[in-house]
Structure formats: C-alpha cells, structure tokens
A and B are shown apart, each in its own frame.
Chain A
Amino acid sequence: MLSLTHSLRSLAIAGEAIPSNYKYQAVRWRKPRWVPKAKSKIFKVPERPVIPEEEKLELMRLYNNYRTKVKSLRSYLVAKHCTKFQASEDPEEQRRLFEEDLQHCIKMNNEWNEKQRIFREQAMTEELEANLSYARKRLEDELIKQEEKIKAIEEIVQKQKEAAKNFILPENIDEAIDKALENPVDYNFAITLNGEKIIGYYNHKVGDKNENVVKQ
C-alpha cells in the first residue's frame, strides 16, 4: 500500500486522498488503467502485419499436415503409455495374473504359518515347563520356610518350659513371700572407685561389720 501510494505520487496523479479500504490490483503498469490514451496517439492505428496470400495458404497447408501428424503421434503414444488404458487391457489376462499372484501369496502365507506354528508350539511347551519348574521351586522354598518357622517356635516353647520351673504359682506363693522377707535386697548403695559398697545409714543392718556405713 505504501509503495503504491509512493508510485502514484511519483506519477503525480494522486491528487485526491486514497480511501484506506480501496483495493488495488498489483499490475506492472507504466500508466494506471483509468488514465486515457495520450492525446497525441488518439488517432494512431497500429499497422496490421501483412502476410502474402501465397504464404498464408502455404502456412495453412503446413499447419494442417502438422496437426494431423501430431494427432496420430499423440494417439499412438496414448495407446502405448496411458496408464488408464493399460489398466483396462484384456480383463481375462488381468484376472489370471491376479489369481496366480493370489495363489502364490496364499502358498507363501501357509508355509510361513506352518513354520510359525512349530516355533510357537515349541515356545509354548518351553514356557509351560519353565512355569512348572518355577512353581515347584516356590513350593519347596515355602515348605522349607515353614519348617524353619516351626523349629524356631519350638525352641521358644522349650525355653519357656525351662523357665516355667522358677515361676511363682498359687501353691508356692507363701513360701516365696517368706523367702523374700527373709532376704531383703537393698540396691540403695554407692560404689567407690575401689569397688567398695557404701550402704546408707537407714538401711544398715546391725551385725554387718564388713560394710562401711555413712550417715546420709
């Protein structure tokens, strides 16, 4: 648009303002279409080329011959090369070729299927075998694990039975109480660096001479 207005200005034609929505056709004009013929050229009629009658007749003859020859050549080439015609040539032959091709394809496919079937069956048996052996191994492992578990439990039970001999039961509770009262144990003592026990004053029993007594 900008270049157009510029060129218009350069032609000194654009007197009025150009509306912005006006559409211009891009043509390589020396002169815009609406500018009339130059005044000096108004009555000028361009000369028509004059072809002599002989030459005209000769050219007509040549053109007729040429067109005939080219037409025949063209029709020959079309018959030979045109893809449309070639496709529709002899339907019986086309059908036979198609059938042959189809049979060949079916045969190839069957062969391949047979090969694949053998391969597939072998692969399937191998897979089944592998799965079975894996299952068996898992079962064995599971059994071993259970055995180990039972063994561990039995050990615990054995230990507890051993320990059960020292348990305090209702039958021997009086005896245990008497024993405890007879042998009071006092942990309220301190130890020196030499390993001597220093028992507290209040817990000191009369008669123990070996131990140091300190008033707290």
Chain B
Amino acid sequence: MLPPASGTGIFVNSSEKVIRLLRQGCTNRPFFHIRRKNQHRPVIEQLGTFDPMPNEHNEKLTSLNYERIRYWIGNGAHVSQPVEQLLGLAGFFPIHPTSYMTAWRNRRATKENQEKSISVEADDKNEVKQ
C-alpha cells in the first residue's frame, strides 16, 4: 500500500529533515507538494502545495502551512532553495537573492528588447524617408 499524500507522520529523531518540493502530477503537468522529507523514506508531513502552471489569471497558486513550517524549522529542518524562494515571495523569509537576480535579468532583457524594437522602428522610418 502506498503511504498517504499527507505523509505518514513517522520519523526518526536523529534523521535529517528537509522542507522541499516533491513532484506530483503527471507528464507535462507538474504539481508540487511542499513536504518535510528525509531521503529514501516516506514523506513525514505535507506542509503546502505549489502549482507552477499559471492559471487563467496568470497566477501560480501556492498554499503554505506557516504554523507547521515554523515548528519544523525550529526543530532543525533544512529548507531547499526553491522553497526558500517561495517563502521569500510569500513574506515569511527575506527575499532570496536569486529572486532579485531573476528580476533584474528579466528587467534588463525587456529593456534591451524595447531598445532593439525602437532602433528597428527608427531604421524603418529612415529607410522610408530616403
């Protein structure tokens, strides 16, 4: 029998615990449960969900159980980078540097694109004038 999606609640005290994303869902349709998990063992507890596919309002839906996350971090659980990013965006943690990095890179890319399009338009106008 498979363990339940909400986790088994069974764990060894001395084992290392991680709050990380665990891929559920199916092919081309990822859906994540945020779980405390030690490797090679069943999930201990489900702490939230994350759907990376944007919905019709262009939103990526996330749910987090702050109380339990607080408890488990207090009891020495590690947090993986993607979850750190999520928690940063949610306002639980400070915003992760990689989030800043992606943001400024995206900004730069859009700016460059805009400049490129403007220059292209200007060239077109010049061509028309000549």
Interface residue ranges, A against B (CB under 8 Å): 55, 59, 62-63, 65-66, 69-70, 73-74, 77-83
Contacts and interface: CB of A to CB of B under 8 A. Distances in A.
Contacts of B74: 77-82
B54 interface: no
Q: DSSP class of B's interface residues: helix, strand, loop or mixed?
A: helix
B97 A66 contact: yes
Contacts of B39: none
Contact of A69 (B71, B75, B94, B100): B94
B70 interface: yes
A78 B100 contact: no
Contacts, number: 38
The SS class assigned to the A binding surface is: helix
A78 B74 CA distance: 4
B100 A81 contact: no
Contact of B100 (A62, A73, A77, A82): A62
B96 A66 contact: yes
Contact of B94 (A55, A59, A70, A78): A70
B97 A81 contact: no
29 contacts: A59-B97, A59-B101, A62-B97, A62-B100, A63-B97, A65-B94, A66-B94, A66-B96, A66-B97, A69-B94, A70-B84, A70-B94, A73-B93, A73-B94, A77-B70, A78-B73, A78-B74, A78-B75, A78-B76, A79-B74, A80-B70, A80-B74, A81-B71, A81-B73, A81-B74, A82-B74, A82-B75, A82-B76, A83-B75
